[in-house]
Structure 1
Amino acid sequence: MSKRGKVWLAVSGLVITSDGRWLVVKKKYGGLKGKWSLPAGFVNEGETIDQAVQREVLEETGIATSVKGIMSVRSGVIQGEISDNMIIFLLEPKGEHIIIQERELSEGAFLFPTDIAHDEHASVLIQYLLEAMPAPLLQMDGTLNPGEQFGYTVYNIFVGNTENK
């Protein structure tokens, strides 16, 4: 815990193929051990949340992706002291050949939602997202510059429908 402190920022990616299959993985450890869940991990120093989710999905599954938008934010407090926050992205795969990271995962697959909807091994988050789909997205706009005085090397904002601007 000391490495991350008491405020955690994680990302997770719901990768959906053009025919509607979801990329799901089974972790080898922790509270999601043996459960279908989404590829996920922590944001590292020097990267944006969208870079982090693409890196995590690639590291865990070998699947390169493009970001479609943010679906939701999950925020909780663990044991009254650790702020645990996760941003959940909708991603599009650039391929479908899965190479699982065997250190962390026992399995990875592209499954149709109907195949996992009633699976006893589906995580609570997967079950919730299945019920919530289709969810409105917050889309990334990387064109803003808040001013050179801040020293940003990357500056992104995620907002709702920007088509009517």
Structure 2
Amino acid sequence: MRKDRGKIWLGVSGVTVNEHGQWLVVKKAYSGLKGRWSLPAGFVNAGETVDEAVIREIKEETGIDCKVSGLIGFRTGVIRDDISDNMAIFYCHMLDARQQVTIQEKEILEAKWLYPQELAQDETTSVMLKEMASNQFEKHQLEAIEGINPGDIFGYTSYRLFFKK
């Protein structure tokens, strides 16, 4: 069942990297990305930050627990002159190299670890992922700064800044 997200969408995706430098990628079972290599991704839910959302989405789609290293990109577009579609893209590392990929069968056809060079040459790689595979974005990521409170008056229960250090 599809949720009504209104006309301003905020999604997240994450490049999760293993100890060999491979990326965790998925082939979705639906949408315009059906059967194409893309990143685990989804929408931000009420009550969570974007970095919490990407950790949840990666876990839900692949079974992999990860940690956000930084923000590496942002995708934005307008669908049919009506819907503002936005996505924060994060760089992540798996927490335990022994974890096994376990797909969410309703949404994911396949998930595996591939090298960026393999993705850049694969005809079934999504446009965004191909572009990412040809760049060294991890050198330019914005890193999370935690432990900051802008003031109790705002009522934040979770708060992070992302800046280049």
TM range (shorter): over 0.9
Structure 2 residue 87 is the aligned partner of structure 1 residue 83: no
Correspondences of 1:1-165 after superposition (within 5 Å): 3-95=4-96, 96-135=99-138, 136-161=140-165
Give 1:115 shift. Answer: 2.1
How many Å separate the matches in 1 of 2:3 and 2:70?
31
Give 1:65 shift. Answer: 0.1
Structure 1 residues 102 and 2, CA, compared in 2 at 3 Å: closer, same or farther? closer
How many Å separate the matches in 1 of 2:53 and 2:80?
26
Unaligned runs of 5+ in 2: none
Give 1:134 shift. Answer: 3.6
Unaligned runs of 5+ in 1: none
Cα RMSD for the two superposed structures: 1.2
Give 1:116 shift. Answer: 2.0
How many Å separate the matches in 1 of 2:93 and 2:64?
10
Give 1:2 shift. Answer: 6.7
SS in 2 for 1:132: coil
Does the CA contact (< 8 Å) of 2:72 and 2:137 recur in 1?
no
How many Å separate the matches in 2 of 1:2 and 1:63?
25
SS in 1 for 2:32: helix
How many Å separate the matches in 2 of 1:34 and 1:42?
20
Q: Deviations over 1:54-82 (max 9, x none)?
A: 00000000000011000000011100110
| TM-score, length-scaled by structure 2 | 0.94
How many Å separate the matches in 2 of 1:2 and 1:83?
16
The amino acid of 1:103's aligned partner reads: K
The amino acid of 1:89's aligned partner reads: F
Percent sequence identity over aligned pairs: 48
How many Å separate the matches in 2 of 1:140 and 1:101?
28
How many Å separate the matches in 1 of 2:134 and 2:102?
28
SS in 2 for 1:117: helix
Q: Which runs of 4+ in 1 moved over 2 A?
A: none
